[in-house]
A and B are shown apart, each in its own frame.
Chain A
Amino acid sequence: MFKFFSPSNIYPLIQKLIKFINSIFFLILLIGLTFALVLSPTDYLQGDAVRIMYVHVPSAWIGLACFSLITFLSVLNFIFKIKNFYFVNKSIAPIGLLFTCLAIVTGSLWGQPTWGTWWAWDARLTSMLALMMFYIFYILTFKLLKREELIIKVSSIIAIIGSINLPIIKYSVEWWATLHQPASIKITGSNSIHSEMMLPLMVMLLVFLLYAALIFLMKYKTEIIRIKKKNIKRN
């Protein structure tokens, strides 16, 4: 099964997927922005500041999802020694770092009008900052280390240690008294967010996911070409 996911088999599919995402991206972005900035209602407490949620929440979700995926693939790579996962992780990490940074910056811009401060050393904010540091250390292993086996080992260890932080981020608002509000959207149980706000949030999440997929495909394609270039030199 893993053979199907080899770079040579995936490469033609990557081309098609990039073209497909490029063709629909701007339309969905336009719909998302119209909903988020014009059509969605204001909050009874936060007023128009609530619109920051449409960029802050998807950024945080994707930042967390990328690290979860990196950890999962690192564990699989540790067990099954599938080198392809190393290239996948290398392509995902910068996307995760970008979205984690954006979640922190937009959170800070949301915090000023609602909490009256840009930053607080509160459990959710600090654990998100820790996630950003784990991403930086993870990416640095690719930049600083030379031997591939060593990079795989060190980056996997960072990913596995960093994964301890993921449940801390998720449950920090329940375990400690924080400035950050508890989760409004739950996979199990009822949501405390109105459908008129939920729809724009989901459209913006789709926009961010498409963008993340596009960057991932471009980075992964670059990695494949880099490997093939090395092989040509060897032959």
Chain B
Amino acid sequence: MITNLITMNGYGLYVWLSFSVVFISCAVVYFKTRKTLKKYEKEFLTELQALTLEEKNKALENSKVAQQILTTSSKVN
């Protein structure tokens, strides 16, 4: 049964290559997207932390997104 699964009655090369191309491409795009997201989150936090306390509070008051990012990062840390 395992031999059959690998050879696919002579079509194994085409079937496995198709599935591999799809899953490798999808994995590369996923990890690249995640890396970019993490980079932007980190940069955003660095800039937020560089503000004075007053500016920081103002930014957090005005932006729900800033509050969310700060909450998520504190959970992670």
Contacts and interface: CB of A to CB of B under 8 A. Distances in A.
A52 interface: yes
A55 B62 CA distance: 45
Contacts, number: 110
B15 A11 contact: no
B30 A51 contact: no
B65 A7 contact: yes
Given A98-B29, A215-B29, A226-B40, A232 B47 contact: yes
Nearest to A59: B22
A112 B10 CA distance: 13
- A interface, by DSSP: helix, strand, loop or mixed? helix
Contacts of B29: 94, 98, 215
Given A105-B18, A228-B63, 11 more contacts: A15-B72, A48-B15, A51-B15, A52-B18, A59-B22, A102-B22, A109-B17, A112-B14, A211-B26, A221-B37, A225-B44
A55 B22 contact: yes
A48 B64 contact: no
B25 A98 contact: yes
Contacts of A219: 33, 37
B11 A113 contact: yes
A218 B47 contact: no
B18 A110 contact: yes
4 tightest A-B CB contacts, nearest first: A48-B8, A49-B11, A48-B11, A8-B64
A215 B29 CA distance: 8
A232 B66 contact: yes
B33 to A, nearest CB: 5
User: What's the interface size class on B, roughly?
Assistant: 35 or more
Given A7-B65, A214-B30, A224-B65, A233 B25 contact: no
Given A37-B19, A94-B29, A98-B29, A109 B40 contact: no
Interface in A31-64: 33, 37-38, 42, 47-49, 51-52, 55-56, 59
Contact of A228 (B17, B30, B44): B44
B44 to A, nearest CB: 5
Interface in A154-192: none
B6 to A, nearest CB: 10
Contacts of A56: 18
A105 B43 contact: no
Nearest to B59: A232
A80 B5 CA distance: 54
